[in-house]
Amino acid sequence: MEDVDDKFLKKNKEVPLREELRPRKVTTPDGQEIEIEPLRDYFCEAQPKVHPKAYSKIVEDFYNWARSNSLWILGFGTGCGAIEMRPLMTPRFDAYRYGIQWRPTPRQANLLVISGYLSVKTLKRAIRAYEQMPQPKYVMGLGSCTINGGMYWDSYNTIKRLDDYLPVDLYIAGCMPRPEALLHGFMELKQIIRKGEAEGANKYAENFAQYKANQKAVIKDWDMPDYNW
Amino acid sequence: MRELLYRLKDRYHFGTPTFQRDDLCFVTVKRSELRAILTELRDVEGFTHLTLLTAVDWIEEQQFQLTYMINNREANLTLALRVMLDREDATGDTIHDLWPTAATYQRELREMFGINFPGSPRVDEEFILEGWTDLPPYRRDFDTLAYSQQTYHDRPGRETHDPKTHMQKVLYADYPKGAK
Ligand code: SF4
């Protein structure tokens, strides 16, 4: 939909890096002068790599079958859909019977479910969480908010297309999709993985520069290293 | 409530009170008297609770309206005091020493409306937005649709239907008669 009046132009001011993150010289307790650069010193600089396929198709298929049967979801709820995941984890819908479980930290998970609208502030955390997950990893977008902005299509602070910023393997439509739809989505994702088509993480590694450019265009106070691995 | 306003009206300048219910009243006061009124209401009249502090942008009149809503629990009365501020200058008087919670409201107003409250604790810090450089987003001259279109990409193919005409078409295709 076109805007009715396009007199309004957004400002494109840079946000300065926070004081404590700037490279600078400090004096250590024992009197040495050292240079520090907080955004580089503590983080690995390596970029994400494409995960190579196994040497033969049958082995790769076996891997994919195994991967599809161990989906570990990061318990990170954004937007309204976080509520739909509670009945899924509990006896009412019991997703555990399909071998799907939730973990509290990105290091132990391989499926990131973006469960609704993402404000720019949450997007920053979601990117961080995604990048910290070990490969192979998958992203699922729930609800119309992640697809095209949903009812937040004219909001100044929520993104409209999730796949601009993270590689999405599967969308589930609805506002909000019911837990049954989510279960169906998980089954679908399993099939996609088994077919070897859930290549989101590799896409992310291949188009890393493009994704980063998109992310930095909306997250103005970028205060983390480029890759948080 | 009426009798309370009646009692106070000799000493302060009140606008015409608007009674939404018997126990809920809005009244405009002078900015210079706001503090005195709030203090008196809190300490003498038992309005001990600050329910909310919010703002309205009257862009046509070039004014901001601050609404201080206070509540008397015992008598179950809610009184909202309105104060008009100049929109250009956009500076209010902090009341964080009367109600410490006001500091949080004032921080929010500073971020969302750009109304400054000098002296309020941490009022210059970011409240919920991160790295916001544009106009304060609740101001009415900030066009949120234009901003979102210039910032986030649309997915092509999105359609918007007017619910009424759309459902009419889906459910009653030949209404009124012969429309099809
Ligand atoms: S799609 Fe609907 S339910 Fe989901 S986050 Fe958006 S508004 Fe909420």
Give pLDDT tens digits for A123-178: 999 999 999 999 889 999 999 999 988 889 889 999 999 999 999 999 999 888 89
- Which residues are B66's β-sheet partners? B55, B83
Report all structural domains of chain A as residue ranges with CATH numbers, in order of start.
Answer: 57-218 (3.40.50.12280)
Contact A48, A201 (CB under 8 A): yes
Q: Are β-strands A71-74 and A100-103 bridged in parallel, bridged antiparallel, or unpaired?
A: parallel
Q: Report whether residue A176 contacts ligand 1, using a CB cutoff of 6 Å.
A: yes
* pLDDT at residue B156, rounded to an integer: 86
Tokens of A44: 């690995």
* pLDDT over 90 (residue B173): no
Q: What is the pLDDT of residues A85-99, one digit of tens each?
A: 889 989 999 999 998
Q: Report whether residue A66 contacts ligand 1, using a CB cutoff of 6 Å.
A: no
Neighbour count for residue B24 (Cβ, 10 Å):
16
Q: Name the maximum alpha-carbon separation found in chain B.
A: 71
User: A10 contacts in B (CB within 8 Å)?
Assistant: 134, 146-147, 150-151
Burial of B153 (0-12, 13-18, 19+ CB in 10 A): middle
Report all structural domains of chain B as residue ranges with CATH numbers, in order of start.
Answer: 2-154 (3.30.460.80)
Residue percentage of chain B with pLDDT more than 90: 65
Q: Which amino acid is at A192?
A: I
Please name the residue that has the structure tokens 């003498």. Answer: B44
* pLDDT over 60 (residue B26): yes
* pLDDT over 80 (residue B175): no
* pLDDT at residue B163, rounded to an integer: 86
pLDDT band at residue A4 using 50, 70 and 90 as cut-offs: low
Angle in degrees, 0-180, between the axes of helices A57-68 and A179-194, rounded to the nearest 10: 160
Helix/strand/coil for A110: coil
From residue B139, alpha-carbon distances to A1, A4, B124 in Å are 23, 18, 18
State yes or no: ipTM above 0.95.
no
Residue of B75, B18, B77, B19 lying closest to B51 (CA atoms)? B77
Which ligand 1 atom is nearest residue A144's CA?
Answer: 1
Q: Report whether residue A116 contacts ligand 1, using a CB cutoff of 6 Å.
A: yes
User: Of B131, B143, B144, which has the smallest distance from its Cβ to A15's Cβ?
Assistant: B131
Which residue of chain B is at minimal alpha-carbon distance from A147?
B155
pLDDT band at residue B86 using 50, 70 and 90 as cut-offs: very high
CA distance, residue A220 to nearest chain B CA (Å) = 6
Q: What is the pLDDT of residues A188-214, one digit of tens each?
A: 999 999 999 888 999 999 999 999 999
Q: Report whether residue A68 contacts ligand 1, using a CB cutoff of 6 Å.
A: no
Distance B171 CA to ligand 1 centre (A): 26
CA distance, residue A13 to nearest chain B CA (Å) = 6
What pTM, to 2 d.p., does this model score?
0.87
Q: Do A156 and B148 touch (CB under 8 A)?
A: yes
Q: Do B146 and A155 touch (CB under 8 A)?
A: no
